Amino acid sequence: MSKSGITVNDLLKFSFISDPQVSPDGNWVVFVKRTIHKQKDYQSSLYVMNIQTRELIPFTQGDNRDTSPRWSPDGKTILFTSNRSGTNQIWKISFHGGEAQQVTFFKNGASQPVWSPDGRSILCTTSLKENQSIEETESDAKASKEQEKEPEPYITTRLKYKANGQGLLEEKFSQLVFIDLETGEKTQLTEGSYHHNNAAFSPDGKRVAFSANRSEDPDFTMISDIYELDLNSKILTKLTNSEGMYTAPNYSHDGKKLSILGHNMEYKGATLTRVWTLDLHSKELICLTGDWDTEVNDVAINDLATGAGSPGAVWTANDDGLYVLASERGNTHLYHIGLDQRITTVAGGKRQIYAFGLDQHRRQAVIGVSDPQIPCDLYHVSLDSRKETRLTEANQHWLLDKQVSLPDEINFTARDGLSLQGWLMKPVDFEEGKKYPLIVEIHGGPHMMYSNSFMHEFQVFAEKGYGVLFMNPRGSHGYGQEFVDAVRGDYGGKDYEDIMDAVDYVVEKFNWVDHERLGVTGGSYGGFMTNWIVGHTHRFKAAATQRSISNWFSFYGVSDIGYFFTEWELKTDKLDEPDKLWKHSPIRYVNEVETPLLIIHGEEDHRCPIEQGEQMYVALKHQHKPVKFVRFPESDHELSRSGKPKLRIDRLNEMAEWFEEYL
């Protein structure tokens, strides 16, 4: 009896593993395991594992969301963030057991816990309105919620007044708070109408580095500077020149330098992230990866939301180099970057390494891994021998009974001679000699990357009898600066041709692909491209556009990023060159659409607002074209990755039914 493939409802079975943190002595790792609770919502708990014996211990329990675990310097206590009190606050728990104790009680919650080197105090971040005191507590928030309030108008004078996942923004800003764990005394370190993040203690505990945009009007200046605050004198020093995006500062062990990630925005949002060191005495900023044509971040896409933020560039034990994640040709690897600018692969392979943690002596690492067969698991890596040992098998207990479709890498040449990479998956229960329909998947961003990682959605289509083609057209990360920049100002140009060239290649080379039964889908930029494709070719028999852009004119004003993203990506805006915006708008070509189009959109999407889908739907419906509109309540731009589980299942079922009807 053959095994069945992975189904839509199997989403409810996945465990999601993230944020591994190695204990200072290197013997234990704490991590976050997220599951879907009672098929309705997400729940996450902390687990600890002995790295040598692989003894696994559930560390926190309940229906809460416990995240961001951080070891104390002596390894005796773990800080973490939890919503168990009603809002996200910082908690601590003894590694030797006992009840968790709440550390913060801030009215607007707390996040990003950081231990001081002596373990006596911590840093965290809380959101505050101007003139709001950190002394206001959760109880104040609960009391104000219980009071019946009449509806009030929302009033703003800011350019950036809404954000995807947050809705209309209150005038609150992320501030750093210092907490003495022995006395409970709390000191607000930053203030003003600015967001302060990525805080790090100096080794002597006397200084704090962080990133912020403290320019005169942050809504108009897309920058991020690195600052250092002296905790005794309260003197704040700006360390970078307000000309780029710099984040994730980490102090060297001698306290003389910072490592940072960032760039000078030479190519706007398509600029490769580089690794830098900043000498705190001379203020000299040195780029260590200027000759490495690679994005120093994990930008691989999967739909299991495994990431937990980048630790940045982490110093070696003797400060002669840094450990970083970087994305290249469909893989994310862990690298060592020497101060001599030599680059060495620490952990490679055809996979996405989405997280890493190191012990204090830098002898070992624990990495989070996703590959075409493994949704997400942890591996131990000896940094001396580079030997790897698998630590977890989070989903093996049920995947053993499933047939997983493994992608085959394809490499082909675009019509203008550019080398391109993609992957082709066969249907589950594939039989030689038979013809199968093919679904083309297009990623968002566009400055992201399909990779050798696990995609539940692709497995669902393979189980239903489809081949799946996915590739990285120009504009994607993983192939250098020129490649990722090539889409800017040319949306729907050579990027469109790249996707069509991929389809031509597989139709010609793989005789099992039925060229009469082709489907296409994508979200965000992939939704834009799906809209563009159906207006420029009739070769697809069905299409599903998700959280898409259809009209750059309205996108400019309704998206939370439209006012700068439009200029970044099209190299113009509606005031300077309106004809260009119209030229690149898929809705301009709606009269040419013959392909049956399913439109999927979240009601609360502020990145690509639902009016983009509405325009496409009405224009097609008015012409009596085959179109269906599915609107998802309580859903933003992240519906397919972290939306409500039931709605994620509904979304996949809607697409599967649409392709079944027309393919």
* Element holding 573 (H helix, E strand): none
Instruction: Tell me the residue length of the chain.
Output: 663
Is residue 64 within 8 Å of residue 85, measured between CB atoms? Answer: no
**Owner of token pair 């852009």:** 549
Kindly state the tokens that stand for 268: 């706007």
Written as one letter, the residue type at 555 is F
Report how far residue 214's alpha carbon sits from residue 228's, in angstroms, rounded to the nearest whole number. 13
282 has catalytic annotation: no
**Owner of token pair 């675990």:** 69
Prior bond of 446 cis (ω within 30°): yes
**Owner of token pair 């773990």:** 78
489 three-class SS:
coil
CB atoms within 10 A of CB 39: 11
Report how far residue 577's alpha carbon sits from residue 569's, in angstroms, rounded to the nearest whole number. 13
Report how far residue 8's alpha carbon sits from residue 656's, in angstroms, rounded to the nearest whole number. 9
DSSP assigned state of 300: B
Q: Which of 333, 380, 584, 637 is catalytic?
A: 637
Q: In 3D, which of 517, 535, 523 has the Cα closest to residue 592?
A: 535
Report how far residue 516's alpha carbon sits from residue 501's, in angstroms, rounded to the nearest whole number. 16
Prior bond of 626 cis (ω within 30°): no
Q: In 3D, which of 48, 81, 67, 31 has the Cα closest to residue 357?
A: 31
Report how far residue 26's alpha carbon sits from residue 49's, in angstroms, rounded to the nearest whole number. 11
Q: In 3D, which of 475, 505, 471 has the Cα closest to residue 493?
A: 475
Exposed/middle/buried for residue 243 (C-beta within 10 Å: 0-12, 13-18, 19+): exposed
Q: What's the helix, strand, coil split of the chain in %, to 5?
A: 20, 35, 45
DSSP string, 78-117: EEEEE-TTSS-EEEEEETT----EE---BTT--EEEEE-T
Distance of CA 633 to the CA centre of its chain: 22
Report how far residue 96's alpha carbon sits from residue 28's, in angstroms, rounded to the nearest whole number. 12
CB atoms within 10 A of CB 386: 12
**Owner of token pair 């990285």:** 472
Exposed/middle/buried for residue 14 (C-beta within 10 Å: 0-12, 13-18, 19+): buried
3-state secondary structure 415-454: CCCCEEEEEEECCCCCCCCCCEEEEEEECCCCCCECCCCC
Q: Which of 174, 405, 524, 585 is catalytic?
A: 524
Report how far residue 148's alpha carbon sits from residue 614's, in angstroms, rounded to the nearest whole number. 34
121 has catalytic annotation: no
What amino acid positions are annotated as catalytic residues? 524, 637
